[in-house]
Amino acid sequence: MLASFLITFREALEAALIIGIIAAYLAKMGRKDLYRYLYMGTIGAVVASTGVALLFKLIYGEFESTAEQLFEASAAFIAAVVLTYMIFWMASNSKKIKGELQEKIDVSISEGQMLGIAALSFISVFREGVETVLFLGTLAITSPLDTLLGFILGVVAVVFLSFVMFKGIHRMDVGRFFKYTSILLVLFSAGLIATGIHALNEAGVVPPVVEHVWDLNKYPSLQEGNPIGGGLKSLFGFDASPSLTEVLAYIGYWLVTGFFVYRTYRVTAASKAGEVKTYGS
């Protein structure tokens, strides 16, 4: 439940931040009459995301045994790829998100293309919705009720928080929010990779090489059925008795992705500092 709550909270909060930025900018321009386009895009994205979730459930229900494990692995890898892309996208664009959104709104209004505002809100929310479906879909395979409860609590928490912070959203450092949550996303994604490899081990597609590198099942709190062990598994792909290929995949992803994310943020920060220095001189 904790994993689905955190994932839903993070993804829904990102969507809420973007919608909040658009709403605050329209209010600042005195164009609250355009809120209807914002609502139109947001509601449409929620409906479309729900459709994707139902499709995911329908497809998964058709598989059995080995095919089910292969589907689980595929879903985990696809979610990891999408998440990794978003991590790097945020690392490269986090400082420019607010300005780019406002620029697109200006263009839509000046050209009389009000549906552009609806499209902007639709794309922003639908993107987060699809990501949430992919992540929670892999969790729901093993614990559907806990995943659903975590999802509901995550949405409720974001709705409440959105009302609290809306008035000050124009002062919020969106770039910093994306930067620090990227660390958590790398952990989530590494867990998805490990989950996918574990499913392939069970399907006999990828050999474990060493079946159990270690076995921590002797500690009850770390077993999958325990809230602590189950929570760690859902959040970070923790396995009390992982195979060698699981461990190598997890560590390898962490090292490679962590290095490139760190480097991307450093390059972005250096570029920003250069722009400020040039402007100041």
Q: Which two tokens stand for residue 79?
A: 């979610």
Please state, in angstroms and rounded to a whole number, the distance separating the CA atoms of residues 85 and 141: 24
| Contact (CB, 8 A) for 41 and 122 | yes
Angle at 13 between CA 10 and CA 15, to 5 degrees: 115
The reported pTM is: 0.70
What are 229-256's pLDDT values in tens digits? 877 877 777 889 999 999 999 999 989 9
| Contact (CB, 8 A) for 247 and 197 | no
What are 145-165's pLDDT values in tens digits? 888 888 899 889 888 877 766
Say what percent of the chain tops pLDDT 70. Answer: 85
| Contact (CB, 8 A) for 175 and 94 | yes
Going from N- to C-terminal start, the domains of the chain cover 2-280
3-state SS assignment for residue 55: helix
Burial of 184 (0-12, 13-18, 19+ CB in 10 A): middle
Q: How many CB atoms are located within 10 Å of the residue 181 CB?
A: 18
Nearest to 69 by CA among 119, 134, 126, 142: 142
